[in-house]
Amino acid sequence: MSWNMSLLPTDVLRSLPELPSPIEHHIEPAPLPQHALVLDVRSYAEFMSGHVDGARCLPLPRLLEDIVHVAPDPDHPIVLYCASGARAEQALGLLRRMGYHQCFNGGTPADLAGKMGRAVRQGM
């Protein structure tokens, strides 16, 4: 983060509070709900190359139009993932603005599979 900090004037840098060490203040993330709908927001080709077992593919460009068909209940938990977690974070913001408040960014397929105890499968 030093590259961002170097852009700030030195008087602003001095006024910023010290950040706690991540080791001293480690917080475990909440476990993901096992009964959640798992959505892969990558392309169909990426989904076919390897996806979390039980996941459904709903590419980010189709999310706004198709989410009501895939997840009609906005109170049901949804776990999103993609290649790096970035598209999942975008999808998370979109869904929250649409009233889906039990959404979680699961990160990458490998990360999410490990967290949920599922396999990564190729094909359908």
Pairing of strands 120-121, 51-52: antiparallel
Q: Which two tokens stand for residue 15?
A: 């006024």
- In degrees to the nearest 10, what's the CA dihedral of 106, 111, 112, 118? 180
Per-residue pLDDT band for 5 (boundaries 50, 70, 90) equals very low
Burial class, 32, CB count within 10 angstroms (exposed 0-12 / middle 13-18 / buried 19+): middle
Confidence at residue 42, expressed as pLDDT on a 0 to 100 scale: 97
**CA gyration radius, the chain:** 18
In terms of Cβ atoms closer than 10 Å to its own Cβ (0-12, 13-18, 19+), residue 51 is: buried
pLDDT (average), residues 39-52? 97
Give residue 111's pLDDT.
94
pLDDT tens for 52-92 read 999 999 999 999 999 999 999 999 999 999 999 999 999 99
pTM: 0.75
pLDDT score of 15: 59
**Structure confidence at residue 6 (pLDDT):** 55
